[in-house]
Amino acid sequence: MIRIGIILGSTRPGRRGEQVARWVQERATARGDAEFEVIDLLDHPLPHLDELPGEYRNAHTRAWSATIASFDGFVVVTPEYNHSVPGALKNALDFLRAEWRNKAMGFVSYGGVGGARAVEQLRLACGALEVADVAAQVTLSLATEFENYAVLKPGEYAVAALDGLLDQVVAWSAALAPLRTDAPVTAA
């Protein structure tokens, strides 16, 4: 069965991403067409690029590599910080290369304008990492999708958008599987 990781892309205290990731996981798990698991970056403290590419000497890099290698695709839950991507998320992407290759990725973002600017930057990184980013996207405005800017209360259109995103991530993850099995993961 296809395995999809739901990456919680913020490590900031007070983050709203935990409730967004839970919402994604609950909706995704009810589908039954793939296995879904939350990957919290707080559980993978990665210093800023402390090794040469492909030389996994440190335990934190080996653990991160094994985690990412075990999934067929991803849904990234990301806030937008200062019109950009959270540093911890960008660092987590940059830590690896081969483990991302030929996998699908979708984005659920949140922020003042729904996190759209962060996702646009993440799409550029996906291209460099040879990740197939799906077209469907979920943007959650803090003003309309969070009660009192704090508690997630997604509207029906957000639920429908998430369903479409999950359809695409699962389909693309399955479609890319032959490329992953033909080319074993090796450090770049």
Q: How high is the pLDDT of residue 127?
A: 96
Could you tell me the CATH number of the domain that includes residue 97? 3.40.50.360
Predicted confidence at residue 53, as pLDDT, reads: 76
Residue 187 lies in a domain: no
Q: What is the pLDDT of residue 49?
A: 85
Q: Say what the pLDDT of residue 144 is.
A: 95
- How many folded domains does the chain comprise? 1
Residue 83 resides in a domain: yes
Segment 107-124 shows an average pLDDT of 97
For the chain, how many residues are written?
Answer: 188
Whether 18 is in a domain gets the answer yes
pTM of the model: 0.94
Residue 13: inside a domain: yes
Q: What is the pLDDT of residues 123-173, one digit of tens each?
A: 999 999 999 999 999 999 999 999 999 999 999 999 999 999 999 999 999
CA distance 124 to 120: 7
pLDDT in the model for residue 184? 46
Kindly state whether residue 110 falls inside one of the protein's structural domains.
yes
Report the mean per-residue pLDDT for the chain: 94
Amino acid letter, 59: A
Alpha-carbon distances of 65 from 57, 111, 129, 163, rounded to whole Å = 12, 29, 14, 28
Mean pLDDT of the region 8-33: 97
Amino acid 188: pLDDT: 45
Q: Say if 108 falls within a structural domain.
A: yes
Q: Is residue 107 part of a domain?
A: yes
The C-alpha torsion from 112 through 115 and 116 to 122, rounded to 10°, is 150
Range(s) of the domain holding residue 118:
3-182
Give a yes or no: residue 188 inside a domain.
no
